[in-house]
């Protein structure tokens, strides 16, 4: 077992008094000797943290003791060394920026599909009703270069705020197909899935837990390459091991 536990998690939940919460989060992370980034906004929390296993699990116990965060689900992976250089807790307008304030996942999630069920669909090429399945990559262009689902649709976007216009431009050709949007850990798809339904793409789903959960439960089936992650590991293979540096496509962007 590698010595450093890495966790990624998010939760859409109404948060108030963000300044006080930021300080409490920072104190708790420092007390457990964790490093990484926690984003806080009125719409929820998004975190990427790493540290010694017992310290990480103790921190999660502390976090879930707050009723607001009790439902938070965590994706885990392991590394030989600490992938973060420091501990940051930031207050943002959105934990994932889309610039569509009507999209509020806390009020009702998009339809989602579990990793193993998605593999069944991709094995057949159709959903349970015989509709063709199209994978929709919501990530930025440089992330797609590291790897993506086979034959996935992507729009060469540079930031997530470009996704709504990009998918809307393809609405007519996609409206009779089953769409499964995906991203690294699922947070972008909480909003993209709702947006696709809002514009009339009714047969749309999000991949529960994103690529990382798919790797954890399924592995590499129907996926080519690795998955970019926003820490010093750079990218993860379907085994959830970090990619060898000499295999890297490019240096991690600043």
Boundaries of every domain in the chain:
4-91, 105-247
Residue among 29, 183, 189, 227 flagged as catalytic: 183
Partner residues linked to 225 by β-bridges: 147
At residue 10, the 3 state secondary structure works out as strand
Encoded tokens for 118: 């998605």
Block residue for tokens 């003791």: 65
**What superfamily would CATH give domain 105-247?**
Rhodanese-like domain (3.40.250.10)
- State yes or no: is 29 an active-site residue: no
Give me the helices (H) in 34-114, please.
53-64
* d(C-alpha 135, C-alpha 210), whole Å: 12
At residue 31, the 3 state secondary structure works out as helix
34 neighbors 50 (Cβ within 8 angstroms): yes
Block residue for tokens 């943290």: 49
Which whole-number Å values give the CA distances from 84 to 14, 215, 225, in the listed order?
28, 22, 23
The predicted structure's pLDDT at residue 102: 86
Residue 55 phi, psi (nearest 5): -65, -40
Per-residue pLDDT of the chain (254 residues; tens, 9 = 90+): 799 999 999 999 999 999 999 999 999 999 999 999 999 999 999 999 999 999 999 999 999 999 999 999 999 999 999 999 999 999 999 999 999 988 999 898 889 999 999 999 999 999 999 999 999 999 999 999 999 999 999 999 999 999 999 999 999 999 999 999 999 999 999 999 999 999 999 999 999 999 999 999 999 999 999 999 999 999 999 999 998 544 444 443 33
Block residue for tokens 């590991």: 233
The predicted structure's pLDDT at residue 252: 39
User: The domain at 4-91 falls in which architecture?
Assistant: 2-Layer Sandwich (3.30)
């Amino acid at each position: 077992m590698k010595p450093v536990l890495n966790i990624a998690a998010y939760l859409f939940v109404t948060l108030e008094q963000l300044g006080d919460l930021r300080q409490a989060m920072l104190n708790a992370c420092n007390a457990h000797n964790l490093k990484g980034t926690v984003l806080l906004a009125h719409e929820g929390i998004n975190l990427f943290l790493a540290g010694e296993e017992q310290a990480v699990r103790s921190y999660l116990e502390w976090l879930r003791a707050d009723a607001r965060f009790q439902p938070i689900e965590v994706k885990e992976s392991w590394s030989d060394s600490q992938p973060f250089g420091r501990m940051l807790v930031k207050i943002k307008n959105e934990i994932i920026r889309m610039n569509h304030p009507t999209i509020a996942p806390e009020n009702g999630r998009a339809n989602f599909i579990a990793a193993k069920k998605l593999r069944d669909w991709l094995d057949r090429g159709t959903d349970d009703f015989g509709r063709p399945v199209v994978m929709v990559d919501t990530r930025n262009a440089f992330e797609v270069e590291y790897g993506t689902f086979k034959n996935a649709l992507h729009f060469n976007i540079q930031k997530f705020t470009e996704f709504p216009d990009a998918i809307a431009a393809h609405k007519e050709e996609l409206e009779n197909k089953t769409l499964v949007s995906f991203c690294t850990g699922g947070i972008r798809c909480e909003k993209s899935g709702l947006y696709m339904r809002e514009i009339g793409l009714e047969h749309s789903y999000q991949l529960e837990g994103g690529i990382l959960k798919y790797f954890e439960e399924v592995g590499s089936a129907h996926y080519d390459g690795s998955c970019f992650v926003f820490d010093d590991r750079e990218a993860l293979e379907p085994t959830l091991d970090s990619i060898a540096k000499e295999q890297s496509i490019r240096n991690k962007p600043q």
